[in-house]
Amino acid sequence: MKDTPAFVPVFTYSHDMVRRLAAITAAREVILHAHLVPKWEVSVRREQLVRAAHASTAIEGNPLSLEEVSRLADGREVMASRRARAEVLNYLHVLEHIGRYRKKQIVSETEILALHRDITRDTLDDPAAEGAFRTVRVVVGNRRTKEVVFSPPAPGEVRPQVERLVAWLNSDDARRLHPVLVAGLAHYELVRIHPFVDGNGRTARALATLVLTMREFDTRRFFTLDDFYDSDRNAYYTVLKRTNGTYPDCTAWLEYFLEGVEISLSRVKERVLLLSSDEHRKAARGQVALSERQMRIIEFIHANGSVKSGDLVSMFRISRQAALRELTSMMEKDLILREGDRRGARYVLR
C-beta separation of 94 from 56 below 8 A: no
Handedness of CA 204, 93, 96, 79 (dihedral sign): positive
* Long-range CB contacts (within 8 A, 24+) of 78-82: 82/122
CATH number, domain at 211? 1.10.3290.10
Regarding whether 193 and 340 lie in a shared domain, the answer is no
Pairing of strands 346-349, 336-339: antiparallel
pLDDT over 50 at 2, yes or no = no
pLDDT over 60 at 281, yes or no = no
* DSSP bridge partners of 307: 347
Regarding whether 152 and 45 lie in a shared domain, the answer is yes
**Residue 177 φ/ψ, nearest 5 degrees:** -80, 155
55-84 confidence digits (pLDDT tens): 899 988 899 999 999 889 888 889 999 999
Q: Among 243, 275, 307, where does a domain finish?
A: 275
The alpha carbon torsion through 140, 143, 148, 154 (nearest 10 deg) reads 20
pLDDT at 242: 94
pLDDT over 70 at 257, yes or no = yes
Examine residue 2 and state whether it is found in any structural domain, yes or no.
no
pLDDT over 70 at 277, yes or no = no
- Max avg pLDDT among 180-184, 291-295, 312-316: 180-184
**Percentage of the chain modeled with pLDDT above 90:** 53
Residue-number span of the structural domain to which 242 is assigned:
15-275
Q: Among 275, 293, 323, where does a domain finish?
A: 275
C-beta separation of 252 from 246 below 8 A: yes
Q: Which residues contact 1 (CB under 8 A, 6 or more apart)?
A: 109, 163, 166, 167
pLDDT over 90 at 335, yes or no = no
Which ranges of the chain does DSSP label H, i.e. alpha helix?
A: 15-33, 38-59, 66-73, 82-96, 109-120, 155-169, 172-176, 179-193, 200-214, 226-231, 233-246, 251-275, 278-283, 292-304, 309-316, 320-332
pLDDT over 60 at 279, yes or no = no
C-beta separation of 49 from 95 below 8 A: yes
Q: Among 255, 275, 295, where does a domain finish?
A: 275
Q: What is the mean pLDDT of residues 152-164?
A: 96
Regarding whether 295 and 247 lie in a shared domain, the answer is no
Regarding whether 284 and 145 lie in a shared domain, the answer is no
What is the rounded distance in angstroms from the CA atom of residue 40 to the CA atom of residue 220?
Answer: 12
- Max avg pLDDT among 203-217, 224-238, 331-345: 203-217
C-beta separation of 230 from 56 below 8 A: yes
Examine residue 7 and state whether it is found in any structural domain, yes or no.
no
pLDDT at 278: 55
Q: How many domains does the chain have?
A: 2
Name the more confident of 293 and 9.
9
C-beta separation of 214 from 243 below 8 A: no
Regarding whether 177 and 30 lie in a shared domain, the answer is yes
Band of residue 195 on the pLDDT scale cut at 50, 70, 90:
very high
Regarding whether 162 and 70 lie in a shared domain, the answer is yes
Average pLDDT in the chain: 87
At 303, the amino acid letter reads A
pLDDT over 80 at 14, yes or no = yes
